[in-house]
Amino acid sequence: MAIPETRTHHRPIAIWLLICCATLAGMVVLGGATRLTGSGLSMVEWKPVTGVLPPLNQDDWEEVFELYQQSPEFQLVNLNMDLEGFKGIFYLEYFHRLLGRLIGLIVMLPLIYFVVRRKIDRTLALKLGIMVVLGGLQGVLGWYMVQSGLADVPHVSQYRLTAHLGLAFLIYGYILWIAFDLLWPNSAGKPGTDHRGLRRFSVLIPCLVFVTVLSGGFVAGLKAGLIHNTFPLMGGRVVPEGLLYLDPAWRNVFENPVTVQFNHRILATLLFALVPVFWLHARRHALPRRIRIGFHLLLAILLIQVVLGISTLLLRVPVSIATIHQGGALALFSAALFLANQLGKGVAGEPG
């Protein structure tokens, strides 16, 4: 079957957007590693232009180290750290910021090319403009998050950390959705009514994944993964003690490590229950091959993600497994978005 002209015309743009998503995924994973290794507060200045280059000589290193020595993290946590130890945490944060700048180039240079070559229509131009604005806001939000750990307490705010993580997932999902639309435009006819339940279910899953990710952001921000390192019980109980000790009660959802970990477990368990039901429901429908594969991937990624999550907890948050767990959340989100995108189109009614 011939590929529609519109789809062929947009394929280079879709490939570019998928590359943007891949680099964003790398940014999310590297950001998780930066946080887990305690490297995120090593650069106490934000220099969007001149910060491209790292320290190049001994004088430069001593200057940035002296700035770090004035921070609360050094004075309260790393007082015995020497220059060599500082270099270890500095480079991870430096590469994290450098990748952010590289993503800016990966976004802007092809975008300029496509605009000059008149490959982008007005509707798509608006969507891509929103993408650029969101990317800029993410950079500002990242520095706003870091600033919260450069004041009196050497820990970033769990609210700002979760906002930064959540916006990263939203930007990633937004770009991925546009790419899916370009690769598989809504041109295959209206979906059959027998797929409505499946389509509604497909909207629920990525939303639940996103909320679970946000709860994971609060777990990370409060270091809640370092308490109650048992499974499935917490402190020997299904409902742990100290769940609502803060007043007013709403603060427990965002500021109580026990409640935050409990909520993350509940949301993950809900996903663990619903995704297999979603998968079984889909098996009763005649669906295109790519959608069937999407369902199998969703289920497989969920199972891996659950194992990673439990392992992270039982092993008291090792950097390697916890970092992969954060990447796994992005993979699960991607599979869920793919199914929501595809099932919302006429392709849901095509034969398999």
Alpha-carbon dihedral 336, 338, 339, 343, rounded to 10 degrees: 140
Whether 175 and 309 map to the same domain: the answer is no
Whether 167 and 200 map to the same domain: the answer is no
DSSP label of 342: H
Whether 7 and 144 map to the same domain: the answer is yes
Number of domain units in the chain: 2
| Other C-beta atoms lying within 10 Å of the C-beta of residue 323 | 22
Q: Give the per-residue pLDDT at 352.
A: 38
- Residue-wise pLDDT for 327-347, tens only, equals 999 999 999 999 999 998 854
With residue 65 as reference, give the H or E element that holds it. Answer: helix 58-69
Whether 90 and 238 map to the same domain: the answer is no
Q: In terms of Cα–Cα distance, which of 192, 202, 190 is closest to 282?
A: 202
Phi-psi domain of 319 (left: phi exceeds 0; alpha: psi -120 through 50; beta: other): alpha
Whole-number Å distance between alpha carbons of 172 and 151: 30
Last residue within a domain, chosen from 163, 185, 207: 185
Please, are residues 156 and 148 in contact by the beta-carbon 8 Å criterion? yes
pLDDT at 118 over 80: yes
Whether 197 and 230 map to the same domain: the answer is yes
Q: Where are the alpha helices (DSSP H) in 148-288?
A: 158-183, 196-221, 251-255, 257-282
Q: Give the per-residue pLDDT at 277.
A: 96
Counting residues of the chain whose pLDDT is more than 70, the rounded percentage is 93
Last residue within a domain, chosen from 185, 207, 225: 185
Whole-number Å distance between alpha carbons of 70 and 96: 22
Lookup: tokens for 306? 């659950």
Whether 138 and 217 map to the same domain: the answer is no
- Residue-wise pLDDT for 204-230, tens only, equals 999 999 999 999 999 999 999 999 999
- Residue-wise pLDDT for 26-78, tens only, equals 999 999 999 999 999 999 888 877 678 899 999 999 999 999 999 999 999 99
pLDDT at 2 over 80: no
Instruction: Show the domain range for 260.
Output: 189-352
Q: Give the per-residue pLDDT at 171.
A: 98
Whether 299 and 348 map to the same domain: the answer is yes
Whether 181 and 227 map to the same domain: the answer is no
Please, are residues 141 and 160 in contact by the beta-carbon 8 Å criterion? yes
Whether 253 and 341 map to the same domain: the answer is yes
As a whole number, mean pLDDT of residues 308-331 equals: 97
Last residue within a domain, chosen from 185, 201, 220: 185
Whether 295 and 231 map to the same domain: the answer is yes
pLDDT at 4 over 70: no
Whether 96 and 197 map to the same domain: the answer is no
Whether 88 and 146 map to the same domain: the answer is yes
Lookup: tokens for 22? 């891949």
